[in-house]
Amino acid sequence: MQDYLTAMIQRLPFEAAFSLVGITSISEEDLEQLDDQEQRALDMCKSTKRRQELVSSRLALKQLYRERGAGQSFSIRKDELGQPFGIGREQEYYVSIAHTDTRVFCGISGEEPIGVDIEPIGRAVPQKLSDRIMHPGEDGLRDVLPMIRLWTIKEAYIKLRGEGLRLNMNRVHIEQETAQTFIEKNHYKRAKICSFQHQEHWLAIAFYSK
């Protein structure tokens, strides 16, 4: 994945960084890296699984921030629509987070919004749900793309838009550009989505192209 990510990042019209990590149990050292608001968000998580997802994603984003050489203190917050964003040295950062039962995939950018998603390759999509995913103009994709791959492509795009559940997947019109890149055709801002396999998962990264 790193070779493909490196090549893809070099084509981005802005600087961004991404991380794919496993979801692990929570240690005392992990908890010490969370600030007060992140601790409160963790306390609101009822299940062990959700707590592990939250901590794993926050630590991965903090590590990406440190690797940028921007400093040590980085916090994750949510806006009024529940979309995450980061704060470091009084600057806001675009972040995006996705997870499966075992993995967290996340990204950070100080310049432009991004959206990411991840799903296991073998995850089945029921026919009733497939019909709700497809845009009327996408009939040609039904026979050439696994439905779960199309799901990740659209989910990454919806996260890029930052509208959450207010934007239905069947309103998103995807067109294939190359074997690993797609564009969204409906919105006034042209978006590109990169989609690729890694370790039995489909990963997608969405961004606005210049």
Task: Tell me what pLDDT residue 87 has.
Answer: 95
**132 and 98 together in one domain:** no
Q: Are strands 201-208 and 191-198 parallel, antiparallel or unpaired?
A: antiparallel
Identify whether the C-beta of residue 57 lies closer than 8 Å to the C-beta of residue 97: yes
End position of a domain, from candidates 52, 82, 110: 110
pLDDT at 116: 96
Cα end-to-end span (Å), the chain: 25
Going by C-beta distance under 8 Å and a sequence separation of 6 or more, which residues neighbour residue 205?
Answer: 8, 18, 107, 114, 115, 116, 156, 193, 194
More confident residue, 50 or 90: 50
pLDDT in tens, 167-190: 889 999 999 999 999 999 877 888
Confidence of residue 114 (pLDDT cuts 50, 70, 90): very high
Q: Where in the sequence is the domain holding 180, given as residue range(s)?
A: 118-208
CA pair distance 156, 161, nearest whole angstrom = 9
- Does 185 reside within a domain? yes
Whether 160 has a pLDDT exceeding 90, the answer reads: yes
Q: Does residue 89 form part of some domain? A: yes
Beta bridge partners of 108: 17, 95
- The domain boundary, picked from 110, 134, 155, lies at 110
Higher-pLDDT residue of 6, 55: 55
10 in a structural domain? no
123 and 204 fall within a common domain: yes
Is residue 133 domain-resident?
A: yes
**Are 23 and 88 contained in the same domain?**
yes
Q: What percent of the chain has pLDDT over 90?
A: 71
Residues 170 and 102 in one domain: no
CATH number of the structural domain spanning residue 61: 3.90.470.20
pTM (2 decimals)? 0.93
* 129 in the same domain as 91: no
Q: Are residues 186 and 105 part of one domain?
A: no
Average pLDDT of the chain to the nearest whole number: 90
Whether 78 and 131 map to the same domain: the answer is no
pLDDT of residue 17: 92
124 and 105 in one domain? no
- Does residue 13 fall inside a structural domain? no
What pLDDT, on a 0 to 100 scale, did the predictor assign at position 97?
Answer: 97
Q: For residues 94 and 144, state if they share a domain.
A: no
Which pLDDT value is given to residue 198? 86
Residues 95 and 162 both lie in one domain:
no
pLDDT attached to residue 3 = 62
For 125, other C-beta atoms within 10 Å of its C-beta total 16
* 204 and 122 belong to one structural domain: yes
Residue indicated by tokens 């749900």: 129
Our count of domains for the chain comes to 2
Q: Of 110, 129, 144, which residue constitutes the final position of a domain?
A: 110
Instruction: Grade residue 165 by pLDDT with cuts at 50, 70 and 90.
Output: low
Domain assignment present for residue 6? The answer is: no
- Residue 171 located in a structural domain: yes
pLDDT band, residue 2 (cuts 50/70/90): low
Quote the crossing angle between the two packed helices 36-43 and 48-67, to the nearest 10°.
160
CA 210/CA 189 separation, integer angstroms? 9
Q: Are residues 91 and 122 in the same domain?
A: no
In the prediction, which pLDDT does 13 show?
82
Tell whether 11 is covered by a domain: no
Which of the given ranges, 64-73, 94-103, 124-133, 156-165, has the highest pLDDT on average? 94-103
Residues 6 or more apart whose Cβ sits within 8 Å of residue 27:
none
Give the pLDDT of residue 158.
94
